Amino acid sequence: MTDKNENLKPAKPSKVEKAKTEGDLLRGTIDEVLRDESVDKFEHDDLQLLKFHGSYQQDDRDLRKSRRAEGLGKAYSFMIRIVLPGGVMTPEQYLAVDRIADEYANGTIRITTRQAIQYHGVIKGNLRETMRQINEALMTTLAACGDVCRNVMATAPPFQDAIHTRIRETANEIAADLRPATRAYHEIWIDGERIVDTKEDEPFYGETYLPRKYKVGVTLMGDNQMDIYSYDAGLIGIVEDNELAGFNVVAGGGLGMSHGRANTFAQIADQIGFVGLDDGVAVIRNIASIYRDFGNRENRKQARLKYLINEYGIDWFVEQLKERSEFTIQPWKELPETRNEDWMGQHRQDSNHWFYGVFVENGRVKDEGDFRLKTALRSIIEDFNVGVTLTAQQSLLLTHIKDDDIAAIKKRLSDHGVKPVEQLPAAIRYSMACPAMPTCGMAVAESERASPEIVRDLAAKLDSIGLADVPLTFRMTGCPNGCARPYTADVALVGRRPGIYHIFVGGRLAGDRMADLFAADVAVEEVIPTLTPLLNQWSKDRSADEGLGDFYQRTMGRRDPRRRVTGKEESTIEQFNSQLVQLNANAHPHSTSPPSASPRTTVLPVLPMNGQQSLTGERT
């Protein structure tokens, strides 16, 4: 091993690394605490290990102040996440998920942005039984969280052709290949006792697993609903002569960062190259092995794969990958234009079946007043025996619908107050939000609970200027960690503190570029007024089919897509306004587009970046 590689080893492992090392391959004292009915929470190292089992300990932050006044401790409960490669569920599995939500959680089902299911509000005394019943329905929570390969995503449409089938199979193979081997999960949640006392091995991960999470997706060229460039590693299926020829490989993406820290950043992944069809699983495993061996285990804020690549360069990373691969890393293959398809509404699945996309606002499947989505879905799946595929936009597809049943299913949804997607303004249809308050411990501001009012105000504004039906991505998060993928959206709000948000502008549905910090520290009631001049100018000066993010980039004079946004940015609103003044001064009286405008139909390429400066001028 070279001196450079030796320098990658940390001098002092973090507390989480210590917890993993001493955790007996994810066992810790979890089983003992589960059996202790006198406590309602886990402590110290067990909190870190519990994540690998698919659960986070949380508390109701709405109740903290009142409970403190009463001399009480926090109201603890647990989030449980179910792993679903590609988001695919059988009818039986979905019905089990629905039942468990009522029996053990808070009565709702939450679809994540990564095709998984989350429960909230599970109390400690119900943890083991909830986990057991999830596994009884042939699902698992193992590796849904923690420093491992998380849920592996796949392009959502359930087409039965050989190309889409192979994409789903590849996602499942990656999930199986990188699933932890420890028996701790079954001992704790299923069997209830340790079968052997001899030391076991974790052949790929070792006792300390990965430095941090490892997010992976598999999609097709032209389809980037999942934001493939925002993950640690991804495969993009390349079709040649109507067959899947292999995969373009990307690595080093990630959307988490920290406010005020210029050395933390959200970043678009690098283009690595092309591999053959049979090498997709292996290349994802090999990338993970580089991350395992050289990732930062001292500072968790610098522990994601993107920071490793940034520090030592893409050339070093590719050389490492080539050394570990028994196959050839070929040159990257050019990609076609990315289409903006969310698969909502009715689509032909095969000659005998339909699938139907149901919009789920912020991923929350619930009954509330006349809106009874949860009941509608349960009754449809019970009566018509249809499957479910979760999407990367927090919605779901009802699949394998018979020709004779499609009309009845649409009516059933309508009867339960669920609007067809055609009746939704684009701003709502393409919106997402993370859970944030009151359960997420990282949240510094509201998100899911505040988003519906804000996005409806935005939709009303767009309607007033004639742009209600123009696709526009609106995303909102309660902290800068990026769970709802805000930094690739047309417009996004990122929480700074209660009631205060950063506004980001300039991404787009294709997910292939980063937005700018448009306005900093904006009070929630000032969000729409702050955006109004931009929206008005977009309505006035947009060229044909030009999205908001594209209009913003053109106005700013951008030629190349931005690939990185740091935790310490300067807002661009004054610069944007200056550009508007100049454009308006130079505009031709009868033109709706400046002569220098470039076509908006071209997909901007993802270019390698080593030591590129951020827009603040700071080298990241």
Residues labelled catalytic? 81, 150, 213, 215, 434, 440, 479, 483
CA distances (Å), origin 409, targets 99, 159, 387, 401, 553 = 21, 19, 13, 9, 42
Cα–Cα distance for residue pair 235/246, rounded to 1 Å: 9
Comparing C-alpha atoms, which of 224, 183, 177 is closest to residue 201? Answer: 183
CA distances (Å), origin 500, targets 446, 493, 495, 504 = 9, 9, 6, 13
**172 neighbors 110 (Cβ within 8 angstroms):** no
CA 431, 434, 439, 443 dihedral sign is negative
Cα–Cα distance for residue pair 511/272, rounded to 1 Å: 18
Comparing C-alpha atoms, which of 523, 522, 485, 533 is closest to residue 507? Answer: 485
Torsion of CA 289, 291, 293, 295, to 10 degrees: -170
User: Hey, how many other C-beta atoms are within 10 angstroms of the C-beta on 441?
Assistant: 11
Phi, psi at 531, each rounded to 5°: -80, -20
Q: Quick one: three-class SS letters along 292-323?
A: HHHCCCCCHHHCCHHHHHHHHCHHHHHHHHHH
DSSP per-residue string spanning 509-531: TT--SPPEEEEEEEEGGGHHHHH
User: Hey, how many other C-beta atoms are within 10 angstroms of the C-beta on 176?
Assistant: 11
Query: What proportions of the chain, in percent to the nearest 5, are helix, strand and coil?
Result: 35, 20, 45
Cα–Cα distance for residue pair 219/611, rounded to 1 Å: 28
Phi, psi at 500, each rounded to 5°: -125, 135
Structure tokens at 228: 């493939």
Cα–Cα distance for residue pair 255/265, rounded to 1 Å: 7
